[in-house]
Each structure stands twice: as structure tokens, then as C-alpha cells.
Amino acid sequence: MNYLKTLRIFFVIYGLAMSTAIIFVFIPNAAMIRIGDYFDLPNFEISPVFEYLARGMSSLCFIIGALLIYLGFNLQKYASLVRFLGWLTLVSIPMIVFIHVKIDTPFWWKAGDIFGVSLLCLLCFLTPRSKKFM
């Protein structure tokens, strides 16, 4: 399997994983609470602000996941956009670290979040700059 095909597969898999966040836009509040309890997450109070932020973040994850799937199938055409996405993710890593320092999330969540964004950053920067390499 060649390098570009492997990279495409990673983009699509990553995008599919992120796209599953759409579930959390629509599940009932009781289900969110049960999931939080199951994963031993800090208790949260259901409020309009919480719902807006949680469901809004989930919808953004879905949108980014769909974008990654599309980019994965069109790496050659959008190589410069993928590289720009790499810079955006690189800039976002300190922000994600700051958020996790501020809030009480389990270590696995912090590590997974930081690893996931770092992996996306790496995938973006591994995408060749020039279309002649594709």
C-alpha cells in the first residue's frame, strides 16, 4: 500500500470517528448523565448553557469529521487546505491543554483529546505540499 493511500485511509477513519459525535447532539439528557456516570466524569448540571455547549461541540466535531472524510477522498485537490488545517490544529493544542488544566476531566480524556488533536496535526503535516508528489 502506498503512502498516499495510507494517509487517505487515516483521514477517513479519523473523520468517521469524529462524525459519531452527531449522536450527542440528539440523545436525551438522561442518557448524557448515564454516560457521564459510567465513565466517572465529573457531575454536571443540565442547563441551557450546558446543553448549548455540549451539543454545539458535538455538532462541530461532526462537521469537522465530515470535512476530514471529504478531504481524505480529495487530498490531491485540497493539499494546501490540509496543510492549513495542520497549522490550525497545532495552534489549538495549547488551548486544549489549557482547557483540560482548568476543568476536572479524567486523565484518559485529557490524554485522548491531546493525542487525537496531535495525531490530526501530524496527519496534516504528512500530506505532501506539492501536487506533483500525489
- Extents of the domains making up the chain: 3-133
C-alpha to C-alpha distance for 110 and 12, rounded to whole angstroms: 23
pTM for this one?
A: 0.84
Q: Is the pLDDT of residue 126 over 60?
A: yes
> Distances from the Cα of 65 to the Cαs of 1, 14, 107, 128, in angstroms?
24, 7, 24, 21
Average pLDDT taken over every residue of the chain: 90
C-alpha to C-alpha distance for 48 and 90, rounded to whole angstroms: 31
| Percentage of the chain exceeding pLDDT 90 | 63
Q: Is the pLDDT of residue 69 over 80?
A: yes
pLDDT at 132: 58
Lowest mean pLDDT among 48-52, 59-63, 128-132: 128-132
Q: Is the pLDDT of residue 112 over 60?
A: yes
